[in-house]
Amino acid sequence: MAEPATDVVLTGWGRTAPTAASLRRADASGVARLLRDAGPRGLIARGLGRSYGDPAQNAGGDVLAPLPGWIDEPGPDGSVRVSAGTSLHDLMRHLLPRGRFVPVTPGTRYVSVGGAIAADVHGKGHHVTGSFGEQVVSLDLVLPDGTTRTVGPDTDPELYWATVGGMGLTGVIVAAVLRTIPVESGYLTVTTQRLPDLDAVLREMAEGDARFGYSVAWIDTEARGRSLGRSVLSRGDHARRDQLSGRAARDPLALPRAPRLTVPLTPPTSLVTAATVRAFNELWFRKAPRWRSDELQDVSAFFHPLDGVAGWNRLYGPRGFVQYQFAVPEAHADVVRRILERLAADRHPTFLAVLKRFGPGSPGWLSFPRAGWTLAVDTPARPDLADLLAGLDEQVVAAGGRVYLAKDARLRPEIVDAMYPRASDFRELRARLDPQRRLQSDLARRLHL
């Protein structure tokens, strides 16, 4: 079933580079028809619009709104079949009362399952569970010719690993079977540490991450000199029932709730400026304890602190913002240092950067995570950033690293193959699978994928 189209102007979460498309609504049974009827500019599926750049935009073409969400009862092995349009928010609220949890959650619950697979998202637990695509049993994919195929890492590894991280360009994911993990509560026991510089946090993560299921560090990007890379490291594990006390014991599930605050409008200019950022980062670093262990935090507070404020991306004003997230191999922590130095020296206001030590990467052709370090930084979209970030790209590539496509809004096509060695295989597969280019997106056009 498909409803009539409406014309919309869309951007990603960064609110940059708007383009117009026809928004299509359909359920899974209507997807094949929409693909067959797609015009010369094709169609792309959009989830909840949390990619920062343009992967869920399709200028002049069709954009498929999230499919209606549904969740089956988990099977005896804990796996659960869901619609691709289901949000992780809804999925967590469904699973927690059943004593289960998603094995991978990114920094927001407001992503769709289909989007999580297409971007092969990762979370604080990557060093243990890998990326989202590694926790999928199988997925139902409507191919560009309209046929539906169920693919998994064992049944059709080529198509599966092209689809995981494939930014929706191999087909439309309509449903998936996901693994879940058993949990006893909606709380985590959290250890927080304040670390004085980059070496300290890198060492602590390399040595200690294995003791925790989840680990991430927030770096104060405004700190320079000897304090460069000063961080707050937050690590934890799901709490057992017997670890709960007080309020947590009375409401052990603590189901994630809808945001309590909303940024109601876009301010005329960015509120993220050098001054506000410095003040915030200073405060944030000071308020963190030097060392605190076994604090109880609920799922929202631990995994998704920004989900508490709806529309926080508006704070960056009408020009929007970009996030630069890269990954480099373990031995190239020097690139992390140089990039932090560069950002600090250039005085682009950057809110807290997020540092994570990845475990081994997945076989996904365009999957981002790879063993080593990843750093993500948000900054207002200013034209003078273009050359700065292009320079950072070169350093990342020279170290054998890459930039995350789900965050990207400004990479150049020439550099993608150096970051993703299987990009040429991906192009070949698309040429074979989709000769008429029924699937297209602004990202694909920009990066010649």
Pairing of strands 309-310, 261-262: parallel
Query: Among residues 47, 49, 55, 61, which is the contact residue for another protein, using CB under 8 A?
Result: 61
Query: Among residues 2, 5, 18, 305, which is the contact residue for another protein, using CB under 8 A?
Result: 18
Question: Which residue lies nearer to another protein by CB, 61 or 168?
Answer: 61
Question: Which residue lies nearer to another protein by CB, 356 or 445?
Answer: 445
Query: Among residues 141, 409, 419, 449, which is the contact residue for another protein, using CB under 8 A?
Result: 409
Contact 63, 19 (CB under 8 A): no
Question: Contact region for another protein (CB under 8 A) — 130-138, 216-224, 231-239, 412-420?
Answer: 412-420
Smallest separation (angstroms) from another protein to the CB of 381: 5
Contact 423, 414 (CB under 8 A): no
Q: Which helix (H) or strand (E) holds 285?
A: helix 274-287
Question: Which residue lies nearer to another protein by CB, 86 or 325?
Answer: 325
Smallest separation (angstroms) from another protein to the CB of 53: 6
Is position 74 an interface residue for another protein (rule: CB under 8 A)?
no
3-state helix, strand, coil in the chain (%, to 5): 35, 25, 40
Query: Among residues 149, 224, 319, 338, which is the contact residue for another protein, using CB under 8 A?
Result: 319
Smallest separation (angstroms) from another protein to the CB of 446: 4
Is position 387 an interface residue for another protein (rule: CB under 8 A)?
yes
Smallest separation (angstroms) from another protein to the CB of 410: 4
Smallest separation (angstroms) from another protein to the CB of 134: 29
Residue of 420, 443, 445 lying closest to 367 (CA atoms): 420
Is position 382 an interface residue for another protein (rule: CB under 8 A)?
yes
Question: Which residue lies nearer to another protein by CB, 188 or 385?
Answer: 385
Contact 42, 58 (CB under 8 A): yes
Smallest separation (angstroms) from another protein to the CB of 322: 5
In sequence order, the 6+-apart residues with CB closer than 8 A to the CB of 391 are 342
In sequence order, the 6+-apart residues with CB closer than 8 A to the CB of 322 are 14, 16, 52, 53, 378, 379, 381, 385, 389, 407, 409, 410
Token digits of residue 89? 């928010």
Is position 53 an interface residue for another protein (rule: CB under 8 A)?
yes
Residue of 377, 330, 78 lying closest to 203 (CA atoms): 330
Question: Which residue lies nearer to another protein by CB, 245 or 273?
Answer: 273
Smallest separation (angstroms) from another protein to the CB of 383: 4
| Residues, the chain | 449
Query: Among residues 30, 60, 69, 252, which is the contact residue for another protein, using CB under 8 A?
Result: 60
Smallest separation (angstroms) from another protein to the CB of 393: 12
Query: Among residues 175, 335, 377, 385, which is the contact residue for another protein, using CB under 8 A?
Result: 385
Q: Is 6 exposed, middle or buried (0-12, 13-18, 19+ CB in 10 A)?
A: exposed
Q: Is 337 helix (H, G, I), strand (E, B) or coil?
A: helix
- From the CB of residue 27, how many other CB atoms can be counted at a distance below 10 Å? 15
Rounded distance between C-alpha atoms, residue 78 and residue 165, angstroms: 24
Query: Among residues 144, 320, 359, 361, which is the contact residue for another protein, using CB under 8 A?
Result: 320
Alpha-helix runs per DSSP H in 2-67: 31-37
Is position 54 an interface residue for another protein (rule: CB under 8 A)?
yes
Q: Is 163 helix (H, G, I), strand (E, B) or coil?
A: helix
Is position 381 an interface residue for another protein (rule: CB under 8 A)?
yes
**Contact residues: another protein, CB under 8 A:** 7, 9, 14, 16-21, 41, 53-54, 58-61, 318-320, 322, 381-383, 385-387, 389, 409-414, 442, 445-446
